Structure formats: C-alpha cells, structure tokens
Amino acid sequence: MATNCTNCPLRGLDLFVPLTEDEVAFMKRFKTGELTVQKGTQILMEGSNSPQLFTVLRGMGLRYKMLEEGRRQVVNFAFPGDFIGLQAGIMGEMKHSFEASTKMTLCVFARSDIWNVFKNQPQRAFDMTWSSAAEEHFLGDALASIGQRTAIERIAWAMVRIFRRAEALNMTQGQSMPMPYRQQDLADALGLSLVHTNKTLAKLRDRQLASWSDGTLRLMNVEKLAQLAQVDLEQEERRPLM
C-alpha cells in the first residue's frame, strides 16, 4: 500500500523543512503512486525521455555517466528525500543514469505536471529550484575534491559527507552506518583506480580513522577525518521534501 503523504516517515526528520497543510494536500494530488525496485535496477537511463519523476522514500542509489568505451563517472550517491528525474522533466531527456544500490521505494510523480507546479504552486517550484541549486553546489565540491585533494583527502571528504547525511536521516548507529556501495563506486566517484582506493582505505583503517567492510562504514574519528579532508563539520542544511 502506498504511503500517505500525511504520514510520510521523512516529514518528522529535522533535516527537512516542514510542509504546510496546503502543501501536503498538493503533494497528495501530485503523487501518482509508488515504485519498489530491487538492488541493481536501473531506474533512469542517460538519453531516455522518462515520463516520471521520483522522490527516494527508502533505500540508496547512485547517479552516474558512462563514456562510450565503458568508463564510468559516479556523479553522486542518493539518499531518502532526494528528488530525481528533474533533468529529463526540464531538458527533455536524462543526461545521466540512476541505479538502485539497495532495494528502494520511490514516490512517483508525472513529469507532465511540472508546469502546473510552477504555475500554481510557486513555493513547491522554488523548492525544486533549491534542490537543483544544492545539487550544483555539491558538484562544485566534488569537482574541487577530484581536482585538488589527494587520494586520502578525497576519500575522507566522501566519507564525512556520506556519514553526515546518513546521520541527519537517522541511518547511523553510533559510529556506524550501512554502506551498500562498492569500492568501485567510490573509486568512480572520486576519479581513483580501484587499487588506489583499496590502499587508501587501508591507510585510513591503519590510522584508526575509518573502516569499511561487510556493507558497514565505521568512522572512528569524524573530527580528524574532517580535518584531513579540509572541511568543516557543519550541520546539514535543512532541505525541502518533494
């Protein structure tokens, strides 16, 4: 049975800006259903003209681009609350692909209703724009990491970002969180080889800063990891929930 927007489990989290009653009523009309997919399912494909948009309700996934000869760049990792597919809704086709890294449940919206959102729900339209701006900001940070940080700094940066986001979603238990991604995914996100990634993870483990094994990421010292990555441990900025 589809989740009623009134009882959405994400609404109670401090990470998300509260919705007004009118906004909840609109989201009930905007939402056309839910989609549950298994790990490894390709939900959106680069070049496709998807008729649907999605909000991640449960599970984790990743966005990526493929080069013709098969090399892959992971664009970012997706968490509950992320809004995906807007690119096709605005530009006519997807410029990257999206794949489920775990079993996922997604709220489904009709792409054809986007114009009505901008026409009749300006606050919701602004929220979509905010999400796009936040994505642009993240990609700027990621590009700075790939271009200027060393391998160990890149991985420390990624682990801090991932862990802090999971923490804001109540997905952590003490120093640990589920990490369903592969080392290859992390390597493809940070512009590293798999061998280099593996050796760098071993260095972090030897320094007793972080360990990643059996689908669990454990950060033993977030503060030192953040110092290594040259990032501030700021509280996650509140974000709109579509």
Residue 72's alpha-carbon distances to 42, 97, 136, in angstroms, are 15, 11, 20
Please check whether residues 204 and 128 belong to one and the same domain.
no
Same domain assignment for residues 80 and 122? yes
- CB atoms under 10 Å from CB of 90, counted, come to 11
What pLDDT sits at residue 96? 83
Would 242 be classed as within a structural domain?
no
CATH number at residue 13: 2.60.120.10
Same domain, 131 and 185: no
Residue range 186-213: mean pLDDT, rounded: 96
- Clarify whether residues 13 and 130 are in a common domain: yes
Q: Are 85 and 94 in contact (CB under 8 A)?
A: yes
Please give the average per-residue pLDDT across 94-101, as a whole number.
88
Last residue of a domain, one of 120, 142, 164: 142
Residue 238 within a domain: no
What is the domain count for the chain?
2
Distance CA 70, CA 112 (A): 32
- Across 24-35, average pLDDT: 92
pTM: predicted TM-score of the whole model, two decimal places: 0.91
* pLDDT bracket for residue 212 (50, 70, 90): very high
| Pairwise CA distance, residues 196 & 36, whole Å | 35
The pLDDT tens digits of the residues spanning 43-68 come to 988 877 778 889 999 999 999 998 88
In a domain, 80, yes or no: yes
Closest CA to 118 of 30, 13, 2, 10: 30
Burial level of 68, CB count in 10 A (0-12/13-18/19+)? exposed
Q: Determine, yes or no, domain membership for 72.
A: yes
Greater pLDDT, 92 or 196: 196
Q: What is the pLDDT of residue 133?
A: 86
For 72-83, letters b (16+ CB in 10 Å) and e give bbbbbbbbbbbb
pLDDT tens readout for residues 132-166: 888 888 888 888 899 999 999 999 999 999 999 99
* Whole-number Å distance between alpha carbons of 201 and 188: 15
Tell me what pLDDT residue 88 has.
Answer: 59
- Residue 91 confidence (pLDDT) above 80: no
pLDDT value at residue 128: 85
Tell me if 37 is assigned to some domain.
yes
Residue 89 has pLDDT above 60, yes or no: no
Range of the domain at 124: 5-142
Tell me: do 156 and 103 sit in the same domain. Answer: no
Higher pLDDT, 130 or 217: 217
Same domain, residue pair 117 and 163: no
User: Residue 41 — very low, low, confident or very high, per pLDDT cuts 50/70/90?
Assistant: very high
Cα 56 to Cα 138: distance, rounded to the nearest angstrom = 18
Residues 136 and 58 both lie in one domain = yes
